[in-house]
Amino acid sequence: MEIEGEIVHRLDIANRRAYPKGMQAISVQNLIKRYAHTLAVDDISFTLERGQVLGLLGGNGAGKTTTIAMLLGLLVPTSGSITVLGHDMARDRFPALARMNFSSPYIALPARLTVYENLAVYGHLYNVPDLKRRIAALAEQFNLGTLLQRPAGELSAGQKTRVALAKSLINQPELLLLDEPTASLDPDTGDYVRGVLEEYRRTQGAAILLASHNMAEVERLCDNVLMLKAGRIVDRGPPAELIARYGREDMEQVFLDIARNGEL
């Protein structure tokens, strides 16, 4: 929240420039984050291409949320470099922040504002043109019609998740960072939301970084995955390739295999 407040005058959806096909949405080199007593992210490097979905997998405490927070500029890395949409996040993050967005269950929407007011605040923050129309389209897409005039703090977990996802698309981001985007959704809504994300990627050519514990979701959405354990990448590749390499039928089994062999 603070980071977005800080950039209120600098984000302008109208001024963004298209970036060439094949350009990396994210390039991370030798990234390390050390808290007082924990090495949360331990020298990871990876890239995410435009139009691709990359899964960030790992057990509890593996470093997924910490990695996403550094990509957003919410946490300062101990060392290493992060380039987002061609911008070095240590020196030049505002142009990148204008062109990305995120959804996380750990960041609450202002509770007293209605859903409409929440979306309007974020829309203004990003200078979204024709904001009313954009909010109406998102309300339809995420079935928020009956929730728009309700305070965000009164919504159920699944309803809040739908609002947070709508908020994450308000500026039509070229890069979307999603931390457990469907964890609190019922199976039907979760399936629908995965369809929305697939369509968004396909129609906008957007890149998505997805942290998820839902292996069926990962198989459906991700082109590639990173398997994190104790802050390190212990394996990586396309889901189908990992499934074949581990001689398994699905990513759930691959995940369990790695975990039970002490790797995750």
Ligand X SMILES: Nc1ncnc2c1ncn2[C@@H]1O[C@H](COP(=O)(O)OP(=O)(O)OP(=O)(O)O)[C@@H](O)[C@H]1O
Shortest Cβ 78–ligand X spacing (Å): 12
Tokens of 35: 């808290």
Asked whether 97 and 5 are in contact (CB, 8 A), the reply is no
CB under 8 Å to 215, separation ≥6 — which residues?
250, 251, 252, 254, 255
Q: Identify which range of 62-70, 81-89, 170-178, 242-250 contacts ligand X by CB under 6 A.
A: 62-70
Asked whether 84 and 175 are in contact (CB, 8 A), the reply is yes
- Residue 66 sits in the site that holds ligand X (CB under 6 A): yes
Shortest Cβ 37–ligand X spacing (Å): 7
**Residue of 3, 6, 35, 250 interacting with ligand X (CB under 6 A):** 35
φ and ψ at 60, to 5 degrees? -60, 135
**Residue of 11, 26, 40, 48 interacting with ligand X (CB under 6 A):** 40
DSSP strand pairing (39-49 vs 24-34): antiparallel
CA-CA distance, 126 to 171, in Å (whole number)? 6
Shortest Cβ 213–ligand X spacing (Å): 7
Q: How far is CA 84 from CA 91, 126, 129, 187, in A?
A: 11, 17, 24, 33
- Residue 62 sits in the site that holds ligand X (CB under 6 A): yes
Shortest Cβ 204–ligand X spacing (Å): 26
Shortest Cβ 61–ligand X spacing (Å): 4
By CB under 6 A, what part of segment 91-120 binds ligand X?
A: none
Q: Which is nearer to ligand X, 66 or 118 (CB)?
A: 66
Residues interacting with ligand X, by CB under 6 A? 35, 38, 40, 58, 60-66
